A and B are shown apart, each in its own frame.
Chain A
Amino acid sequence: MAERNIESVNKVREAVSQDLLGGRIDLLLGWEKGHYWWQSRPLFARSEEDLEKLAWDSFCAVNLSRYLLEELKDHDKIGVLVKGCDARAFNRLLQDNMVKRDQVILYGLPCPGMLDYNRLIEKAGGALLGITEENGRVILNIESGEQEAQRDDLLLDKCKDCRYPDPAVYDQLLFSPQGEKEGPERFKTVEELEEMSAEERFGYWEKELSRCLRCYACRQACPFCSCRECFVEQENPRWQGRAYQPSENFMFHLVRAYHGTGRCIDCGECERSCPVDIPLQELNRKLIKDINELYGDYEAGLDAEQEPPLLTYRPDDPAAFSEK
């Protein structure tokens, strides 16, 4: 891949290797290349050798903070590479008392947005051998030569609408900030759905949710789903049945989304990790939109000191039902 990329990986490696090899941290959470060139998966680095595998490219979409929940059981101090959304996820876990600030060192990576493989191959229109990147452009190496595209057109959905690409919390910032972005499209689909009649909306969700395999990947990837025992696994009462029917699909998806009210950091990992492309983010965003409308603007994960809207109230709050 491009020079620029090698340079920046080296910079990241340099920053973390002092701490890891010097014993300031026991584990570094980063990314390494996966089976294919268009995959970057989590890296759990404990040694210099491990650090050789470190990657920082346009496919590092996996939110790493979520892994702290497991890894902190076996490690005292962990370093994490955080993009905008990983940092907000960290704040989420902090607010939920799932981690302590001094257990973690955060290396901030202002994020240019991650690329969507599906968009890449669509653009390439055939076998895609690899990509190189230059100043906001992506050069696709296809069998017949090269093809150029605008980077912004190839971003993952979750990155297209991202408003905070810079980490909100970090100990060290490794590159210069990207600055806040406009996310004008964020509530577009929610608004379209709101326009529909109740029947149409129900039909829409019944169809979308009918693909659900109940694999719970969305929950596993999610930084707000940090409960030690999730309601879907509770035996008594058993809230979540296993049957394949709309009723159970709605049960899971409504409750999953609802548990994120005022807590979802809008990182889109649920939707990205869904193997059957359920538009999960629209449920989350509906709640974000309503909470903002009813109880004032709140962006979860931006400021760990600010109280989440469902943990507080004002006596003169409005309600979505008649209070007469």
Chain B
Amino acid sequence: MSAALNETAAGWEPLIVSFCCNWCSYAGGDLAGTSRMSYPANVKVIRVPCSGRMNPLFVLRAFQRGADGVLVAGCHPGDCHYTSGNYQSRRRLSAFKRLVEFAGFEPERFEVRWISSSEGDKFAEEMTSMTEKIKALGPNRKMRDARWQSVTSKV
């Protein structure tokens, strides 16, 4: 069908979508950048106000439209800008992670990490290790929308 469905050809690069909370993890990404640390360009960062903003629909939509892995990053527990956003999301996303695994996704496909604004190095490390894990796993076909044309396969 579309290129999206058979992109295993040599040169496949995984697409990682990372939802980062504005106050910690996104700032952590900024720090990684200004400190000239590098992390794979496979990661596309989407900024959310707080990890508590994460609607699991975002994650499933990402999988539908080409993501091979999804990483949600937020402030460390206790440090959420809105006090309890990440305490709430810890429960919600834990249940959700187990549900997507139950549906047949490999555990590596969906991850959650706490990364603070001072942890530029951790940001770079997590993005690198997520990319490597997904590279090893190969492309994700599960839940991919059959009509969706992969962006990565066109470049």
Residues of A within 8 A of B (CB): 190, 193-194, 198-206, 231, 239, 241, 243, 245-248, 250-251, 254-255, 257-258, 261-262, 283, 286-287, 290-291, 294-295, 309-310, 313-315, 317-323
For A200, A254, A317, the residue with the greatest tally of chain B CB atoms inside 10 Å of its CB is A254
B97 x A321 contact (CB < 8 A): yes
Query: Inside 8 A of A294's CB, which chain B residues have their CB?
Result: 91, 94-95
Q: Given A247-B64, A250-B60, A313-B87, A287 and B94 touching (CB < 8 A)?
A: no
A243 to B111, CA, bound (A): 28
A290 to B99, CA, bound (A): 9
**What range describes how many residues of B lie at the interface?**
35 or more
A323 x B95 contact (CB < 8 A): no
Interface residues of B in 86-124 (CB under 8 A from A): 87-88, 90-107, 111-114
Task: Please give the distance in Å from B5's CB to the nearest CB on chain A.
Answer: 12
Interface residues of B in 35-76 (CB under 8 A from A): 56-57, 60-61, 64
B91 x A295 contact (CB < 8 A): yes
A239 to B91, CA, bound (A): 23
Query: Inside 8 A of A286's CB, which chain B residues have their CB?
Result: 98-99, 102
A313 x B91 contact (CB < 8 A): yes
Query: Inside 8 A of A251's CB, which chain B residues have their CB?
Result: 60, 64, 143
Q: Given A202-B103, A315-B78, A317-B87, A250 and B98 touching (CB < 8 A)?
A: no
Q: Given A247-B64, A254-B99, A315-B87, A321 and B104 touching (CB < 8 A)?
A: no
Q: Given A255-B56, A290-B95, A201 and B103 touching (CB < 8 A)?
A: yes
Query: Inside 8 A of A246's CB, which chain B residues have their CB?
Result: 143
B146 x A247 contact (CB < 8 A): yes
A313 x B99 contact (CB < 8 A): no
SS of B interface (majority): helix
A317 to B95, CA, bound (A): 12
29 pairs of residues in contact across A and B, judged by CB atoms under 8 Å? A190-B102, A193-B102, A198-B105, A201-B104, A202-B142, A203-B104, A206-B104, A231-B57, A239-B61, A243-B146, A248-B145, A250-B103, A250-B143, A251-B60, A254-B99, A254-B103, A255-B60, A258-B96, A286-B102, A290-B94, A291-B95, A310-B88, A317-B87, A320-B93, A320-B95, A321-B93, A321-B113, A323-B77, A323-B114
Query: Inside 8 A of A193's CB, which chain B residues have their CB?
Result: 102
B144 x A247 contact (CB < 8 A): yes
Q: Please, what's the 1-or-0 string for B6-45, where 1 marks a CB less than 8 Å from any CB in chain A?
A: 0000000000000000000000000000000000000000
Task: Please give the distance in Å from A196's CB to the nearest CB on chain B.
Answer: 9
B113 x A322 contact (CB < 8 A): yes
Task: Please give the distance in Å from A254's CB to the nearest CB on chain B.
Answer: 6
